[in-house]
Amino acid sequence: MYQYDKYDQGMVDARVEEFRDQVRRRIAGDINDDQFKPLRLKNGLYLQLHAYMLRVAIPYGTFNSVQMRKLADIARKYDRGYGHFTTRQNIQYNWIKLEEAPDILAELATVEMHAIQTSGESIRNISADQYAGAAADEICDPRPWAELIRQATTFHPEFSYLPRKFKIAVISAPEDRAALRWHDCALRIVRNGKGEEGFEVYAGGGMGRTPFIAYKIRDFLPAQQIFSYLQAILRVWNLHARRDNIHKQRMKILVHELGEEEFRRQVEEEFQTFLALATDFPQAEYDRIAAYFTPPPFETGLGDEIDRSDPDFALWVDRQVVAHKVPGYAIANISLKPIGGIPGDISAEQMDIVADLAERYSFDEIRATHAQNLVLPHVRKADLYAVWQALDAAGLASVNLDLVTDIIACPGLDYCSLANARSIPLAQKISERFANMERQLDIGELKIKISGCINACGHHHAGQIGILGVDRKGTENYQLLLGGSGAEDTSQAKITGPGFDEAGIVDAVERTVERYRELREPGERFLDTYRRVGLDPFKEAIYG
Amino acid sequence: MRILTGNDLKSGAVIWWTGHDWSLHVEDAVDVGEHGEAVLAAEDGARRVNGGYIVDAEATPEGPRPAHIKDRIRALGPTVRPDLTLKPADPTAGDWVI
Amino acid sequence: MADFRYRDDQPHEEPAVTLDAFLEQPDATAVRLEAGEDARRLIPFLDRLQLIEISFPRFRDGRGFSSARILREAGYKGELRAEGDVLIDLLFFMRRCGFDSFVSQHSLNPADVEAALNRYSHVYQNATDEAVPIWKLRHG
């Protein structure tokens, strides 16, 4: 994976000192909270319900054992012994003190980590396929491009005071594991007829209160021109977005208002301007970055057989293990969704165990997924049993990848100052309701996504079953949505009808699932059945 | 009754106005009547509170109970982590929130 | 008078006229662009302009960064001034986008200004300043 050189290190070190100075000026009263807020947000520091919250970037979801151990140390030393993996492949801490935040950033910098642009109206952490470099179906590793874009968009002078946040994702496989088209700008690496690498570019997606699925703005962009093209998109948006209403300043709104054709025309025109400025990074720099992502020294001649004599292990293998591009290796998914647990939460002790496993069995690599799980990307099949035993002992061997209990949930009203309703208790109750393994396997793929407010951090618009918490006259109320997808068959979920209280929504989810089991044809996932029969049969089951 | 809350600037901790200072415990909060804005302006200016605001609350024998669930969660702590609330030893503390 | 000015030539203190006024009678040498006004409309007149003032009505409104770069990229050599809700932590980015003078509605501490402008010894990307991007340093 990528390693900082003196320049990268110098940037994060300077950032720490800059933030230390900003905190000093805030505590001294030189700047007020209105002025300080954007500065702390650009360093991932929020003020939440109970304390400050710090969001640490995990660029394109890739990190190593040293970094994971540092995350564990920070959890113990500055927080309350745990962290929370987010839907943008980042990790956040819930109990941070402002006066300690600069020290935490300084500790992160010692392991080549930071919190730069993890919040605020900035170009956010670049997300990517969590199986990058390991997936059997990818055409290349997308991370060198993600890293190049990370550098190009870090402290960009023209685009550091954007109208709103701006999210970029990069993948290179036909299967979309990164919720690509729900991003402001989404890049899929493809090859043209001449075998050259380039990007299929999508723009104008996003969740929030006004969801849009990104549309394809370019079939093929020569890879070397990506920075020019991104700057063109950003400039069109920066110049023309509304600035009078925070809820209408995301790029998706501008794209929608201008129309796809006009937006594309303006971007292409601005693109010519940027091309002439020659700001694109040269091939040599791409090559330098890509060298850090050469495949690890995989052994050859390994067998593919797995000893399945332990039935619990076999169950885990069948669900959590995914095909690797190299024979004899596998991708192991670590669920952070135990039954009744808090989605994405992980204790410092568990972090240390995952770090040990990565170091010993996965060429020192760990991945975070947008579904709030972790991945050991390069495990020898012969080692899977040892990995599973260690995970099982640490409470990390839940079997539920993409099943009904693998629920995405935002922190909700238990932690978040923006939330209208709690998300986590719902996730806990739904997972308890469907705890039975046979039942889960019978239901098959079913992605439930819960947000505690319309900002949609819990991706409810992309939920096969989505749940949105709202505030109805001071009490928590939950709307049910069906039919969303964040995969390659992207779609936006639709609201079924009137909302429910907490007990009612869990029952409504169960009635939805039972109706699916009645209606499904052989081989159909929930989403397939929903698309075939439509909303009505489900409404009937839900509302009677 | 109307009480005042906000977060401590340096620690981020939830705090409640006691009439002369800030407390971590909502039980210590006092009714500010019509003086809320004035107190907040002075305290914010002195950076003794961050993001302060006025909360409607009900006076109960156990002390003020904020009208909105969000402020009750702020007063106690996350309902999903009773061990991290202000009353980790009280298994029924969460009932006060709901 | 600019609060902070990073040019060697004599300050040009003719009052700036609005963009509309300038376009009607383009003999002024100083123009003020409001946020949201199209900087490209000034491109035909850049040779004769000595001062362009770009307004930042709220520090969060970053349109002026693009306007500044557009003017510099089109060859404007005169003074480019950021005016309004100009805060210390914007200055580094403003300099990189081509601003070379600042008039802030706040009183900025000169030591803090100096520190903010010199905090980063390197930059990742080209802009309109002379800074050499890191990728270029890496490859000699």
Domains recognised in chain A with CATH numbers: 6-109 (3.90.480.20), 142-289 (3.30.413.10), 311-393 (3.30.70.3340), 408-543 (3.30.413.10)
pLDDT above 70 covers a percentage of chain A that reads 100
Per-residue pLDDT tens digits for A367-410: 999 999 999 999 999 999 999 999 999 999 999 999 999 999 99
Q: Which residues of chain C lie closer than 8 angstroms to A8, CB-CB? A: 134
Instruction: Determine the average pLDDT of the residues in C100-111.
Output: 96
Is it the case that residue C1 has pLDDT exceeding 80?
Answer: no
Judge contact between A111 and A68, C-beta under 8 A.
no
- All residues of chain C having their beta carbon less than 8 Å from the beta carbon of residue A16 are none
Contacts of A96 in chain B (CB under 8 A): 12
Cross-chain residue pair B50–A33, CB shorter than 8 Å: yes
For residue range A172-183, what is the model confidence (pLDDT) as tens digits?
999 999 999 999
Q: What is the DSSP letter of C132?
A: P
Q: Which residues contact A294 (CB under 8 A, 6 or more apart)?
A: none
Q: Within a 10 A sphere around the Cβ of A318, how many other Cβ atoms?
A: 13
Amino acid residing at C134: I
Query: Which one of B44, B74, B81, B97 would you mutate to disrupt binding with A, by most A Cβ within 10 Å of its Cβ?
Result: B81
Which residues of chain C are within 8 Å of residue A277 when distances are taken between CB atoms? 73, 126
Quote the pLDDT of residue A145: 98
Residue C90: which domain range? 4-138
Joined tokens for residue A246: 């925070």
For A6-56, the pLDDT digits (tens) are: 999 999 999 999 999 999 999 999 999 999 999 999 999 999 999 999 999
Cα dist from C65 to C56, C71, C115, whole Å: 9, 10, 21
Q: Are the beta carbons of C66 and A285 separated by less than 8 Å? A: no
Residue A179 DSSP code: -
Report yes or no: A288 at the C interface, CB cutoff 8 Å. yes
CATH of the domain at C20: 3.40.50
Q: What is the pLDDT of residues A68-97, one digit of tens each?
A: 999 999 999 999 999 999 999 999 999 999
Instruction: Please state whether beta strands A62-63 and B2-7 pair in parallel, antiparallel, or not at all (unpaired).
Output: unpaired
Nearest by CB: C125 against A156, A163, A243: A156
- Asked if A99 and B47 come within 8 Å (Cβ–Cβ), the reply is no
Residue A70 · residue A110 · CB < 8 Å: yes
| Best mutation target, A239, A246, A273, to test chain C (most C CBs within 10 A) | A239
Closest to B80 (Cβ–Cβ): which among A97, A342, A474?
A342
B14 token code pair: 């939830």
Q: Is C23 exposed, middle or buried (0-12, 13-18, 19+ CB in 10 A)?
A: middle
- Chain C touched by A273 (CB under 8 Å): yes
The pLDDT of residue A332 is 98
Task: Note whether A425 contacts B80, CB cutoff 8 Å.
Answer: yes
Nearest-CB residue to B10 (from A49, A98, A415): A98
Question: Residue A369 has what pLDDT?
Answer: 98
Per-residue pLDDT averaged across A450-473, rounded?
Answer: 97
Touching A (3+ Cβ pairs <8 A), the chains are B, C
Q: pLDDT tens, A265-310?
A: 999 999 999 999 999 999 999 999 999 999 999 999 999 999 999 9
Select the residue of C69, C109, C138 nearest A158 (Cβ to Cβ): C69
Q: Which chain C residues are within 8 Å of A282, Cβ to Cβ? A: 135, 139
A abuts C (3+ Cβ pairs < 8 Å): yes
Instruction: Give the neighbours of chain B: at least 3 Cβ pairs within 8 Å.
Output: A
- Position C26 pLDDT exceeds 90: no
Q: By the 8 A CB rule, do B87 and B76 touch?
A: yes
Residues in B closer than 8 angstroms to A427, CB to CB, are: none
Mean pLDDT computed over A342-361: 98
Instruction: Band the pLDDT of C140: cuts 50, 70, 90.
Output: confident
CB–CB of A530/A464 below 8 Å? Answer: yes
Interface predicted TM-score (ipTM): 0.98
Q: What is the mean pLDDT of residues A192-199?
A: 95
Report pLDDT for A287: 98
Give the residue numbers in A contacting B (CB under 8 Å), as ranges: 26-27, 29, 33, 47-52, 80, 94-99, 342, 413-415, 419, 422, 424-425, 428, 474-476
Point out the residue among A29, A94, A99 whose CB comes nearest to the CB of B10: A99
Tell if the CB–CB gap between A227 and C73 is shorter than 8 Å: no
In angstroms, the first-to-last Cα distance of chain B is 20
- Contacting residues of A for B68, CB less than 8 Å apart: 474
User: A334: closest CA among A428, A402, A404, A397?
Assistant: A397
Average pLDDT, chain A: 97
Query: Residues of B near A (CB-CB distance < 8 A)?
Result: 7, 9-14, 44, 47, 50-51, 67-70, 73-74, 77-81, 84
| Identity of the residue in A29, A47, A342 whose CB atom sits nearest the CB atom of B47 | A29
Choose from A33, A50, A416, A476 for mutation: most chain B CBs within 10 A.
A50
Q: Who among A80, A97, A425 is closest to B12 (CB)? A: A97
Query: Cβ–Cβ contacts within 10 Å for residue A283, how many?
Result: 11
DSSP string, C9-50: SPP--SPPEEHHHHHHSTT-SEEEEPTTS-GGGGGGGGGG--
> Which stretches of chain B drop beneath a pLDDT of 50?
none
| Chain C partners (3+ C-beta pairs within 8 A) | A
Phi, psi of A439 (to 5 degrees): -65, -45
Taking CA–CA distances from A473, the nearest residue in chain B reads: B68
Of A11, A157, A279, the CB nearest to C97: A157
pLDDT greater than 90 at residue A190: yes
Percentage of chain A beyond pLDDT 90 is: 99
pLDDT band at A346 (very low <50, low <70, confident <90, very high): very high
Number of domains, chain C: 1
Chains C and B touch (3+ CB pairs under 8 A): no
Concatenated DSSP letters of A136-163: TT-SS-SHHHHHHHHHHTTT-STTSS-S
Residue in B closest to A428 by C-alpha = B80
pLDDT band at C12 (very low <50, low <70, confident <90, very high): confident
Q: Do A239 and C119 touch (CB under 8 A)?
A: no
Contact B70/A424, CB-based, under 8 Å?
no
The set of residues, in sequence order, having a beta carbon less than 8 Å from that of A386 and lying 6+ positions away, is: A361
Taking an 8 Å cut-off on Cβ atoms, the answer to whether A31 and C87 are in contact is: yes
